[in-house]
Chain A
C-alpha cells in the first residue's frame, strides 16, 4: 500500500529562519511526487511536481528536492505570508492511480 508520512506535524519559525519539511514515502513505482500549499478555508494550491531522484525545483523562497525514499521542502528566509499547511502527495506509476496525500505540516512564520 502506498504511504506518505510528513514531519514535523507543526513548525513555528521566526521570520528569516530557514528550515526544511520532510516527506517520506513508500510507493510501488513512483510516477510523481507533488507538493501543495493549503491556506485555512481554501483548497490545496499546486507548488511542484518531482519525477526522479536528484531532481530539484524552486519557486521564490521554496525549493523541493527528491530522493528515492523522501522529499524535502526547503524554506529560505521565510516570511509571515508563507504560513500555511504544506501537503505532500505521491502517485504510483501503474495505471491511472490517484494521489495519496500525507497529513501535512502546519507552518507558522512569526514576524
Chain B
C-alpha cells in the first residue's frame, strides 16, 4: 500500500515570498492533517480535514496560512507571505480512524 506522498521535499525561499505544499493521502483515508514541526520540537497541528471539510483550524495562522482539500483527496497548504519563523518541516498525515500515518514532510527554509 502506498504511503502518504508530499512534494516538494525541500524548499528555500526569501521572506515575504509565497510557497505551497502538496499532499496525497493514503487511498481511502477520510481524515487529513497538516502539522508544523520546528527543529527539536514535536509536530504541532495546523489544520484537520474530514473529507473536504475543516474540522479544526484553531492553530492555523490564518493571516498568512491557508489550506484546502480538493474533492476530499489531495490537499495543499499555502503560506503567503512567509516569515523567518515559518522555517520548519511541514508534515501531512492521514488516518482511516485513530492512527495517523505521516508522509516524509517538506523542509522549508525561509531566508
The interface of chain A, by Cβ under 8 A from chain B, is 4, 31-32, 34, 36, 41-46, 49, 87, 89, 91, 96-99, 101-104
Specify which of A42, A45, A91 lies most central, judged by the most chain B CB atoms within 10 Å of its CB: A42
Residue of A nearest to B40 (CB): A103
Residues of B with C-beta under 8 A to A103:
40-42
Kindly provide the distance from the CB of A47 to the nearest chain B CB, expressed in whole angstroms: 10
Residue among A4, A34, A43 making CB contact with B99, cutoff 8 Å: A34
Residues of B with C-beta under 8 A to A89:
42
Asked if A96 and B50 sit within 8 Å, CB to CB, the answer is yes
Residues of A with C-beta under 8 A to B41:
103
Contact digits for B81-111, partner A, Cβ 8 Å, 1 yes 0 no: 0000000000101000011111111010000
Interface of B is mostly: strand
Cβ-based interface call for B20 (8 A): no
A-B pairs with beta carbons under 8 A, tally = 52
Residues of B with C-beta under 8 A to A98:
33, 45, 48, 56
Query: Please, could you name 23 A-B residue pairs with CB atoms under 8 Å apart, sorted by A?
Result: A31-B98, A32-B98, A34-B99, A36-B102, A42-B105, A43-B91, A43-B93, A43-B105, A44-B91, A45-B102, A46-B100, A89-B42, A91-B98, A96-B31, A96-B48, A96-B50, A96-B55, A98-B33, A98-B45, A98-B56, A99-B43, A101-B43, A103-B41
Docked pose: A44 CA to B31 CA in angstroms = 17
Specify which of A31, A36, A98, A103 lies most central, judged by the most chain B CB atoms within 10 Å of its CB: A98
Residue of A nearest to B100 (CB): A99
Residues of A with C-beta under 8 A to B4:
43
Residue among B48, B56, B102 making CB contact with A43, cutoff 8 Å: B102
Known contacts A42-B104, A43-B104; can you find 20 more A-B pairs with CB under 8 A? A4-B42, A32-B98, A36-B102, A41-B104, A42-B105, A43-B91, A44-B43, A44-B102, A46-B99, A46-B100, A46-B102, A49-B99, A89-B42, A96-B31, A96-B50, A96-B55, A99-B43, A99-B45, A103-B41, A103-B42
Kindly provide the distance from the CB of A81 to the nearest chain B CB, expressed in whole angstroms: 19
Docked pose: A42 CA to B101 CA in angstroms = 12
